[in-house]
Amino acid sequence: MNLKSEVSNMTSKLSEQRAELSDRADEVRRTVEDWGDRSRTFVRQNPGIALLGAFAVGFILAKAARHA
């Protein structure tokens, strides 16, 4: 193979990988947005449970930080 064809092959591979990475990034973005939407919906429908959960997580983190 000559240098020109190797560069062409590398360019096409990089282009394909960039497209795959872009697709994967879009998929991850949609997943994170879905988690956010689900979280907001849960908190709106169950504010008491959300507050108790937040308190419990804060309490556990405070205990862990005190003993660290």
Walk along the chain (68 residues) in steps of 10 and give the mean pLDDT of each run: 86 93 96 97 97 97 92
pLDDT given at position 1: 63
Q: Tell me, what's the pLDDT at 22?
A: 94
Torsion of CA 26, 28, 34, 43, to 10 degrees: -140
- pLDDT in the model for residue 10: 92
> How many distinct helices (H) and strands (E) make up the chain?
2, 0
Question: Can you give the pTM of this predicted structure?
Answer: 0.61
**Closest by Cα among 34, 32, 54 to 43:** 54
Residue 35 is predicted with a pLDDT of 97
CB 43 within 8 A of CB 50: yes
At 54 the pLDDT is 97
Q: Any idea where the domains of the chain sit in the sequence?
A: 3-67
pLDDT for residue 67 = 87
